[in-house]
Structure 1
Amino acid sequence: MPGKPIVSSNNAICLVGGAPIADDAISAVFTFVNSFVGVDGGADHLLAAGVTPAAVIGDLDSLSDAARATFAQQLNHIPEQSTTDFEKALTRVSAPVVLGVGFTGGRLDHALSVLNVLARYAERAVLLVDAHEVSFLATLGHVAFTAAPGTRISLMPLGQATVTFSGVRWPFAQTRMAPDGFTSPSNEASGGVVTIETDGPVLVTLPRAHLALAMKAAVRAK
């Protein structure tokens, strides 16, 4: 993490990006987080929601004049061009869990760059939340959680990984997964404990209604 964090919390923090979001996106995570951080143009979503961020972080080239004026005391200009605004913000907040809203809609290249950051900062517990889903990187080694029968669970490798997936309708063991190889995009829980064992970066996606469950599953061991 470069230097002292701009925002630090012992509770979850929500980063809000500038991609299109659902009308209830911010209210859906409100009870789960301690504070919000606007990521460049994402501050405009917070302005529209009537939420004052703990900070606004980024190169600030997408920030409206209204948000710039309203949140003048929270602005943190990071001019470097070698990192995305999402990475600028993620590396400057300290929290056990980070939620991200406003990063998976809009431009595909932006969404892919966010997944790239998740894979490179696999030690961080980060969840991407959108209108219908929540996604997080499985902990290396072993992660387990309980899900009701029929709950949709998708696994998408962000790199090479050997994966064992059990407690689902279509389980598999010690299977090589890769972005250009085998994936499991639309599996479902059989009811009971779902277990994922992996030695590489694998994105887990659940329905957004299971956000609380996903937050517990995403927490990294200290």
Structure 2
Amino acid sequence: MCHDKCMVFKRHKKAAKSVPGTYEGSVKVDSRTKNLTKRLATGDIAVIDHEDLDRVSAEALVECKPSAVLNAAKSTSGRYPNLGPIILNEAGIPLIDDLGSAIMDVREGETVSVDENGVVTHRDDVIAEGVVQTAQTIQEARDAARAGMPTQLKAFATNTMEYVEREQDLILDGIGMPDVRTVFTSRHALIVVRGYRYKEDLQALRTYIREYRPVLIGVDGGADALIEAGYKPDMIVGDMDSVSDEALKSGAEVVVHAYRDGRAPGRKRVEDLGIEHVVFPATGTSEDIAMLLADAKGADLIVALGTHSTLIEYLDKGRRGMASTFLTRLQVGSKLIDAKGVSQLYRSRISNWQVAFLLIAGLLVISASLAVTDAGQILFGLVKVWFSDTIFWLKNLF
């Protein structure tokens, strides 16, 4: 199937090359980028409505290898210097910005063309016109956005105080913490979020997981990340919008993240699947309540993988999610180890051919040592006889 899609794409590319700078392909449309990437294939044109395109979404798009990305919104609004547009540009994927809501009305599967001026057409009819993003325009937008960072810092401080007033009982005293069957006492807890470099970092922690056998907690799609890596999650925490049915049916304990007033959009989905679950009403993000839950239930150590920890990452999550993550990390800080980037901490500088050379050299040294001993000479004689018998047997066989 992939081969067929790739062949279609090649034909599109060949036709498009008749007009330099034109891209043509079948569109996939979704206002939620993380949902779009689940069905986006190589050579498709991605149509999104994503203001301030964040790093995680951009990396997911790059992994899908679309021929172009059409954004109904501004990929950098000027609120903060987000990294998404740079990532697409460095991957060589054209980004056309600010196309307006009309682009979202394109039917999925239709073939559209995008010219070098950012004009999108379908059957020679102009659908929308946007701004083609280049390395220069992206950098200019980021420079302008940096000037607005003081405003974001003030908003962060205000949001922090509001969150403290609402959730101080939960954060400080654990009031409202649900009962769960998963045992955390005297164990490590590994919380997996599909964030930056989560695949590489999860791979780097294989030895740790094998030796310590921590409680494996997948935050929404983080449960699928664990399953893809060959593990079975012990618990799934989230609003259930980006986790697969397969993960939910894996036998893991399910904790549905609800709003403070008790509304839980993800509850219906798990109920429809017939899965037992616990509801956890809290204002923060799902990764926050996973940390608070592990801390309150007695985990000795909390290892966070793929979670958000820097200012840009907080802003990527949106202002509403910033303060809760910041305060949660302060609360569980004595137990928390951030595993983000652990795969970058150390990379072996010994190549495979060097290892092979060392093995061969070692065998030669051992062989030379044995050759000067009586036992070694007897051993070599036996090997020689076995080798001669094997050759003789093969000759008679053929």
Name the TM-score, length of structure 2 as normaliser: 0.30
Say if 2:205 is the partner of 1:25.
no
1:114 to 310, 317, 325: 325
- Deviation, structure 1 residue 99: 0.3
Kept in 1: contact 2:234–2:253 (CA 8 A): yes
- From 53, 56, 67, the counterpart of 2:247: 67
Question: What is the aligned-residue identity percentage?
Answer: 20
CA distances 1:104-150 after superposition (whole Å, capped 9, x unpaired):
3895433855333202x1464111111258xxxxxxxxxxxxxxxxx
Q: 1:81 to 1:92 in 2, by over 3 A?
A: closer
Give the match's secondary structure for 2:206: helix
| 1:24-73 per-position Cα deviation (integer Å, ceiling 9, x unaligned) | 3113223334221111221111121011011111222221233233x254
Provide the residue aligned with 1:77 in structure 2.
256
Higher relative strand content: 1
What is the CA distance between 1:75 and its match in structure 2?
Answer: 2.0
Q: Which runs of 5+ in 2 are unaligned?
A: 1-173, 259-280, 347-398
- Counterpart code for 2:325: V
After superposition, residues 91-110 of structure 1 pair within 5 angstroms as 91-93=292-294, 94-104=298-308, 107-109=313-315, 110=317
TM-score by length of 1: 0.50
User: Aligned in 2, Cα 1:123/1:20: closer, same or farther, shift over 3 Å?
Assistant: closer
* Matching residue of 1:43: 223
Structure-2 separation of matches of 1:108 and 1:73: 28
Quote the Cα distance in structure 1 between the aligned partners of 2:203 and 2:219: 17
Distance (whole Å) between structure 2 residues aligned to residue 26 and residue 90 of structure 1? 18
| Number of equivalent positions | 134
SS in 2 for 1:63: coil
Amino acid across the alignment from 2:340: D
Equivalent residue runs for 1:2-17 within 5 Å? 2-4=177-179, 6-17=182-193
Is this contact kept in 1: 2:284–2:325, CA < 8 A? no
State the superposition RMSD in angstroms: 2.9
The structural deviation recorded for 1:101 is 0.5
Task: Indicate conservation of the 8 Å contact 2:292/2:332, yes or no.
Answer: no
Residues 115 and 65 of structure 1, relative CA distance in 2, 3 Å threshold: same
Distance in 1, Cα, partners of 2:289 & 2:198:
24
Q: Decide whether the 8 Å contact of 1:104 with 1:128 is kept in 2.
A: no
Deviation at 1:78, TM superposition (A): 2.9
Change (3 A) 1:13 1:74: same
Conserved 8 A contact 1:14-1:99: yes
| Separation in 2, partners of 1:90, 1:22 | 17
Q: Classify the secondary structure of the residue corresponding to 2:190.
A: strand
Instruction: Judging by fraction of residues, say which structure has more helix.
Output: 2
On the 8 A contact 1:4/1:92 being kept in 2, the answer is no
Give the match's secondary structure for 1:13. Answer: strand
Aligned to 1:212: none
Shift of the 124–76 alpha-carbon distance from structure 1 to 2, 3 Å rule, reads: same
Deviation at 1:3, TM superposition (A): 4.1
- 1:180-205 Cα offsets, whole Å, 9 max, x none, are xxxxxxxxxxxxxxxxxxxxxxxxxx
Q: Distance in 1 between matches of 2:194 and 2:243?
A: 9
Gaps of at least 5 residues in structure 1 are 134-206, 210-222
Name the SS of the counterpart of 2:231 in structure 1: coil
| Shift, 1:18, TM fit | 2.5
Amino acid at match of 1:85: S
- Equivalent-residue separation in structure 1 for 2:256 and 2:205 (angstroms): 26
Report the AA paired with residue 100 of structure 1: A
- Pair 1:127-2:337 in alignment: yes
Return the alpha-carbon distance in structure 2 between the equivalents of residues 122 and 130 of structure 1. Answer: 17
Structure-1 separation of matches of 2:329 and 2:202: 21
Letter in 1 for 2:338: L
